[in-house]
C-alpha cells in the first residue's frame, strides 16, 4: 500500500524539481532572446532560445522540450524584380518573398525576405536626359537687331495669320551659377524658382522638338546663351502643347 504512494510522490517531486531547475516546457523561443531563460542549477540561468546551442548555455531539457517540437520557418518563392528605380543611369531593383510557415518552438528563424541589386536604366528617351538646354529671354525673339538671332532659330519676322505650333516646358531650378547675376534677365533665375520655357516652330519645322527639355522628374542641365558662365540645373515638371508662357518667359535656343 505505501510502496506505490511513495513511488508516485517521488516521481512528482522529481518532476517538479526538473521543471524548476532548467525547465523549457512552454518556454521555447526562436533566434536569440535573452528573456527566454529559466532557473538552472546553482542559481544560474539557462536558456531556451535556439541561440543557446551556439553559446552552450541551454537548459538540460532544451532538446527534449524544444527541438522535438521545433518548426522551422518556411518561405515561398521569390517574386519578380521591380523596375529600375532610375529611368536613366544607375539605380536599383528589388524583389521579395513571403513567409508561408512562421517559426515555432525555437525552430530555424526566417531567412532574408527582401533582396536588392543594382541596375542601369535604359529608357528609350534617356538621350533626352543627357542634352543641355540653351535658353534666352523671350525678348530676344522680338528684338530683330539682336546679334543672337538666327534664321530658323526663333520665330520668323513675317507676320503669320495663324500661330506656329509650340509647347511650353515647366521647370524647377535646382542650381544657378553666380555668373547669372551678370544681366538683368538672368538675375531673375534663382534656386527653387519655377520657370516657363517656350519651344517655338518655324516655317520649316511645323512640329518642333527643342533640345534640352529633358524628362519629367529628372534633373538635367541648362546654359544661358547670352551670359558667359551662367548655367545650372533644373527638373522638368511637365510639358504643355500649344501654349505661350506668361512673362517673364524664356525660350529654347
Q: Per-residue pLDDT tens for 137-164?
A: 988 764 444 444 443 344 444 444 445 5
Residue 41 backbone dihedrals phi, psi, to 5 degrees: -75, 150
> Does residue 248 have a cis peptide bond before it, meaning omega lies within 30 degrees of 0?
yes
Does residue 216 register a pLDDT over 80? yes
- Please give the pLDDT value at position 161: 44
Contact by Cβ (8 Å): 82, 95: yes
Distance CA 28, CA 249 (A): 71
Does residue 32 register a pLDDT over 70? yes
Contact by Cβ (8 Å): 104, 70: yes
- Please give the pLDDT value at position 231: 94
- Please give the pLDDT value at position 18: 39
Give the range among 62-71, 77-86, 149-158 with minimum mean pLDDT: 149-158
Find, among 188, 184, 208, the residue nearest to 196 by Cα.
188
- Share the mean pLDDT of the chain: 78
Does residue 189 register a pLDDT over 90? yes
pTM here is: 0.48
- Please give the pLDDT value at position 151: 38
Amino acid at each position: 500500500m505505501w510502496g506505490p504512494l511513495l513511488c508516485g510522490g517521488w516521481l512528482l517531486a522529481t518532476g517538479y524539481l526538473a521543471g524548476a531547475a532548467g525547465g523549457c516546457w512552454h518556454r521555447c523561443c526562436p533566434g536569440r532572446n535573452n528573456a527566454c531563460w529559466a532557473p538552472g542549477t546553482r542559481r544560474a540561468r539557462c536558456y531556451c532560445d535556439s541561440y543557446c546551442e551556439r553559446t552552450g548555455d541551454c537548459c538540460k531539457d532544451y532538446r527534449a522540450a524544444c527541438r522535438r517540437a521545433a518548426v522551422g520557418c518556411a518561405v515561398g518563392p521569390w517574386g519578380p524584380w521591380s523596375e529600375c528605380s532610375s529611368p536613366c543611369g544607375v539605380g536599383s531593383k528589388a524583389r521579395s518573398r513571403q513567409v508561408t510557415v512562421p517559426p515555432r518552438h525555437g525552430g530555424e528563424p526566417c531567412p532574408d525576405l527582401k533582396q536588392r541589386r543594382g541596375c542601369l536604366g535604359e529608357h528609350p528617351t534617356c538621350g533626352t536626359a543627357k542634352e543641355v538646354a540653351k535658353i534666352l529671354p523671350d525678348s530676344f525673339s522680338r528684338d530683330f537687331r539682336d546679334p543672337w538671332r538666327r534664321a530658323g532659330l526663333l520665330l520668323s519676322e513675317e507676320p503669320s495669320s495663324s500661330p506656329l505650333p509650340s509647347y511650353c516646358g515647366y521647370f524647377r531650378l535646382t542650381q544657378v551659377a553666380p555668373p547669372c547675376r551678370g544681366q538683368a534677365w538672368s538675375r531673375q533665375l534663382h534656386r527653387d524658382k519655377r520657370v516657363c520655357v517656350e519651344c517655338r516652330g518655324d516655317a520649316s519645322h511645323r512640329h518642333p522638338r527643342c533640345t534640352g527639355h529633358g524628362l519629367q522628374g529628372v534633373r538635367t542641365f541648362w546654359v544661358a546663351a547670352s551670359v558667359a558662365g551662367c548655367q545650372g540645373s533644373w527638373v522638368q515638371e511637365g510639358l504643355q502643347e500649344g501654349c505661350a508662357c506668361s512673362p517673364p518667359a524664356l525660350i529654347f535656343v
